[in-house]
Amino acid sequence: MDDDLPRWPTGRLLSAAARRVERAWDSHLEAWHLSHGSFPVLVLLARADHSQRELAAAMSVTEQTMSRMLARLERAGYLARAPHGVDRRRHVVTLLPAGREVLAAASNPRLVESVATRRLSPTQVEALRDALITLLRDDDDTAPPDASGAGERGVARREAAGEEAPG
């Protein structure tokens, strides 16, 4: 399979790499009974208390999915849910001290970075980060790609990069 990698389309390479990093990240987080899906919930709650609805929206999941995730985190002792002071239909989700401790332990910067970049040189890591940030900042991901690079997105990208139009 490794011999075929140079022939893979970029999207397939990116997808395969993302799955590999996700598996490694989940493996790292297992020590705290967390996953790549539940970890960001702790990050959000470390900043402020939120409702289940707010957390679901921030994570782009359904409220039902968020409810199951919160129940697991609550059983682990990482957070608490309490009725909202004014709106009895809502619950306020709060990060508990144990959740803060787990967040700090699981977020060790050196360890976290090594999960995704262990085979890369510092120069490769910097280039990868730049490319990923560029991809993630593209806020119009619903527009079909323009293979010629002549569409609005292609023109804007080329202008920002100081490139000439394809001729």
As a whole number of angstroms, the distance between CA 120 and CA 126 comes to: 10
Domain map (residue ranges) of the chain: 2-119, 121-167
- pLDDT in the model for residue 157: 45
DSSP state of 79: E
Token code pair at residue 67 = 């409810």
pTM > 0.75: yes or no: no
Give the mean model confidence (pLDDT) for residues 114-130.
92
Q: How far is CA 162 from the centre of its chain?
A: 30
Which phi and psi (to 5°) does residue 74 adopt?
Answer: -70, -45
Token code pair at residue 36 = 């790549």
Tens digits of residue pLDDT in 87-116: 877 889 999 999 999 999 998 888 888 888
Residue type, 149: G
The CATH classification number of 2-119 equals: 1.10.10.10
As a whole number of angstroms, the distance between CA 98 and CA 17 comes to: 32
pLDDT band at 146 (very low <50, low <70, confident <90, very high): low
Does the pLDDT value for residue 132 go beyond 60? yes
pLDDT band at 142 (very low <50, low <70, confident <90, very high): low
As a whole number of angstroms, the distance between CA 132 and CA 134 comes to: 5
As a whole number of angstroms, the distance between CA 79 and CA 71 comes to: 9
Q: Are 65 and 72 in contact (CB under 8 A)?
A: no
Radius of gyration of the chain (CA): 20
DSSP state of 50: E
